[in-house]
Amino acid sequence: MVARVSKQGITDTRVLSALQSIERHRFVDSALVNQAYEDTSLPIGLGQTISKPSVVARMTELLCHGVSGKLGRVLEIGTGCGYQAALLSLLASEVYSIERLRGLHEKARENLRHLRLANLHLLFGDGMLGYAKGAPYAAIIAAAGGDAVPQAWIDQLAIGGRLVAPVVKGSGSGAQQALLVIDKTPSGVRQSVLESVHFVPLKSGIA
């Protein structure tokens, strides 16, 4: 899996070594274990999915871009099964990961127990509000896509920080998601829209 991701153009050795360290098969149901190292998204229950390794690697590399050494505090919206959160905890000083579905929040806690990641904080709540107590963040990453990036995320991003999230572009049958990168600079925010992606929808409230 790591060799494939590296062939696809991921060069950041920190990201590749984090992918090497975290065993993806521990985050999927036993019936799917034999597919865990393929470049595919997989169901994790409650209608949600663990993202494709190539997309996880791409987003993580974008997040680390321009930072030498460890990232500072990171906020993740959409813990899901906890896989991306585990990778982030190897790359950042502190990670706050929020999930709105209690069932998945609990599943992630179980999946992550064996790793004993002291700098990873799993939170149950509506990530559309961000998590003000951990702000400002050096990086914010979302694994679910809405029509726009909530203002709370931009407010909670540190100056010099970077946000990577899928957003919906267009409307009706032409609606498509693309990766959005937002860099917060002293003079304002700079946005770049990158390639198309497919993520589950960003929803408000908890369930």
Per CB under 6 A, 48 contacts ligand SAH: yes
Indicate the residue among 167 and 202 with the shorter CB distance to ligand SAH: 202
Instruction: Tell me which stretch binds ligand SAH (CB under 6 A): 7-15, 47-55, 151-159, 162-170.
Output: 47-55
Options 73, 100, 162, 184; binder of ligand SAH; rule CB under 6 A: 100
Dist. CA 108–CA 100, nearest whole Å: 12
Q: Which of 51, 54, 97, 173 is catalytic?
A: 51
Phi-psi category of residue 21: left, alpha or beta, with phi > 0 → left and psi -120 to 50 → alpha: alpha
Q: How many residues bind ligand SAH (CB under 6 A)?
A: 25
Indicate the residue among 51 and 89 with the shorter CB distance to ligand SAH: 51
Per CB under 6 A, 163 contacts ligand SAH: no
Instruction: Tell me which stretch binds ligand SAH (CB under 6 A): 18-26, 29-37, 48-56, 155-163.
Output: 48-56
The three-class DSSP label of residue 141 is strand
Residues whose CB is less than 8 angstroms from the CB of residue 79 and which lie 6 or more positions away in sequence, other chains included? 85, 97, 98, 99, 104, 105, 108, 122
Dist. CA 25–CA 30, nearest whole Å: 8
The three-class DSSP label of residue 72 is strand
**How many alpha carbons lie under 13 Å from residue 96 in its C-beta half-sphere?**
22
Options 78, 130, 161, 166; binder of ligand SAH; rule CB under 6 A: 78
51 is catalytic: yes
**Which segments of the chain are extended strands (E)?**
42-45, 48-50, 71-77, 92-99, 120-124, 137-142, 144-145, 157-169, 176-185, 188-197, 200-201
Q: What binding mask, one character per residue, do residues 115-154 give for ligand SAH by CB under 6 A, x or -?
A: -----------xxx--------------xx----------
Per CB under 6 A, 101 contacts ligand SAH: yes
DSSP state of 187: T
Options 10, 18, 36, 50; binder of ligand SAH; rule CB under 6 A: 50
Options 81, 88, 92, 163; binder of ligand SAH; rule CB under 6 A: 81
Dist. CA 41–CA 52, nearest whole Å: 4
Give contact residues for ligand SAH (rule: CB under 6 A).
44, 48-51, 77-78, 80-81, 83-84, 98-101, 104, 126-128, 143-144, 200, 202-204
